[in-house]
Structure 1
């Protein structure tokens, strides 16, 4: 009987682990260069992130002037979505995109909560051959 209770508890923990992991990165994050605050939260079935505050003004007057879509070049960067489509998979958030308003490019990306509480944001090109990472801190 005690084995069944222990096994049932392990089963419940296993079922709740993905939900707990998904909520682990939601909230406000300060970028590594201390230039912006990104709010990460649910967007339907995935997680996404928006710039909620720009801490260092840009030369472009806070506009998305490098966006590849000419119709979006006049939009304000503050409030724009820079993380999209992340799903929890094998201990990290994968299958997403990160948009860099400084150069107007999007990159395949993954997010991982580090043991020290920082968030590792990794963007890649060429199918993951070339990657660059930043560590964001919770704000």
Structure 2
């Protein structure tokens, strides 16, 4: 009986780990200073995944931060409410084939994201051009 319970508990632990997804609210953190810069909500719409800035928390940011370096329709749009992750598709454990916008420099990059294998409350967000990339770790807001 103990063996059955042990196996059931292991199965439930694996099921919980694999049932986690990327939707929810995440804290973005400046890697150098450790300061929480924003809260981003990742949501699903029509089978694709998007990320919207809910709140800018960076103490160095103005009261109403704008995307001053963005081009076109996004120029001087408030960063709060701005969709910065677009059109990600789930492929196994990875979400890719979308873009991520960096509001600080106004540039869009190809994007892929995935949950950290050891901790599903950490989201790995990678923006890249060709073979050059940068990966940030976002923290799930509970």
TM-score band, normalised by shorter chain: 0.7 to 0.9
Q: In 2, distance between residues paired with 1:107 and 1:37?
A: 20
Aligned pairs (5 A) from 1:97-136 = 97-114=99-116, 115-117=118-120, 118-126=122-130, 129-136=131-138
Q: Moved runs in structure 1, 4+ residues, more than 3 A?
A: none
What are the within-5 Å matches in structure 2 for residues 1-139 of structure 1? 24-33=21-30, 34-56=36-58, 57-59=60-62, 61-69=64-72, 71-114=73-116, 115-117=118-120, 118-126=122-130, 129-139=131-141
Given the two structures, how large is their TM-score scaled by the length of structure 2?
Answer: 0.75
* CA deviation map 1:94-131 (0-9, x unaligned): 101000010000000100101212000001002xx111
2 CA distance for matches of 1:68 and 1:132?
22
Aligned residue pairs: how many? 117
Cα deviation code 1:23-58 (max 9, x no counterpart): 611000001221000000012220000000110152
Does structure 1 retain, via aligned residues, the 8 Å contact 2:123–2:137? Answer: yes
1:53-92 deviations in whole A, cap 9, x for unaligned? 11015259401111121x4322111000000111111321
Higher helix share: 1
